[in-house]
Amino acid sequence: MTGQDEPSLTKPRRFYRSVDVAPVADGFAPRLDGRTPKSPQKAPLVAPTEALARLLAEEWDAQVHEIDTARMPAVRLAFTAIDRVSQVRDAMADELASYGGSDVICYLADSPADLADAEAAVWGPWIDWADRRLGVSLTPVRGVIHRPQPEAALQRLRALAGAEDDFTLAGLAYGAALFGSAILAFAVRLGDLSAVDAFEISRFDEAFQARRWGLDAEAERRREALTADAVMLGRWFAALRGDGSAAT
């Protein structure tokens, strides 16, 4: 078995000594020994903001003996934005609307009553936020049986998603999948909610049950891994907005 500090036979070795960021024609690029890395489709890895380029550079610099893309979530998301989003924008907008159509914050438990009341207290303000901030009016329901949301709300979500640039749309799709919620993804994108808080809100039911019955080790490892994904997403959107050094 390969040791943690030894190069593997399957991952490429780190081939560069230095990592920095430089302005380029279309934005800012992380550079490896002065050269801009390429996406899987051979496009230059160029970010629209310097803060995002620095986040990408940080992941490149964190590689030690080998390049482990599994530990480079922001770089992978940037590759998606560069290589894929422009080709599937309509499908991604539809996907965001689909998450809104079954948004986790709209499905309140039908029992026990204390859980349903707690969910309404935590999720209700974000349903109201969506109406006020996005013009998206969703209807909360009790139980797990799917009920269609108003078509006007879904069309509004499609339009909002379709109006975003490729990097933002990639982040929204990532967030909607992570949270099970288009609304929470938009709240993080706009800076009205931290990504870690959005993740905790999205898993409120699970956390409630864990407090009552306990959380097993596997579930805790999964929660920690997904929390790390949320941290990255928060930094991604902060970097796109130009909020400081993208440290949130």
Backbone angles phi, psi at 124, to 5 degrees: -55, -45
Span 140-183, pLDDT tens digits: 998 777 889 999 999 999 999 999 999 999 999 999 999 999 99
Work out whether strand 27-32 and strand 19-24 pair parallel, antiparallel, or are unpaired. Answer: antiparallel
Which sequence spans correspond to the domains of the chain?
19-68, 86-241
Q: What is the pLDDT of residue 10?
A: 81
Q: What pLDDT was estimated at residue 246?
A: 45
160: its two tokens: 């909002």
Distance CA(43)–CA(46), nearest Å, equals: 9
Query: CATH classification of 86-241 is 1.10.3580.10, yes or no?
Result: yes
CA distance linking residue 133 with residue 2, whole number of Å: 51
Asked if the model's pLDDT at residue 222 lies above 60, the reply is: yes
For residues 194 and 246, give the distance between their C-alpha atoms in angstroms, rounded to a whole number: 12
Has residue 27 got a pLDDT over 50? Answer: yes
pLDDT digits 0-9 by tens, 36-60: 999 999 999 999 999 999 999 999 9
Read off the tokens for 68. 């482990």
Evaluate whether 194 touches 202 at the Cβ level (below 8 Å).
no
- Model confidence at 2: pLDDT above 70: no
Residues 6+ apart with CB under 8 A from 160: 96, 134, 136, 186
Report residue 123 as tokens: 């999720």
pLDDT, position 113: 86
Mean pLDDT of the chain: 92
CATH ID of 19-68, from 3.30.70.3340, 3.30.2180.10, 1.10.3720.10, 2.60.40.10: 3.30.2180.10
pLDDT at 205: 87
Least confident of 29-43, 53-67, 80-94, 138-152: 138-152
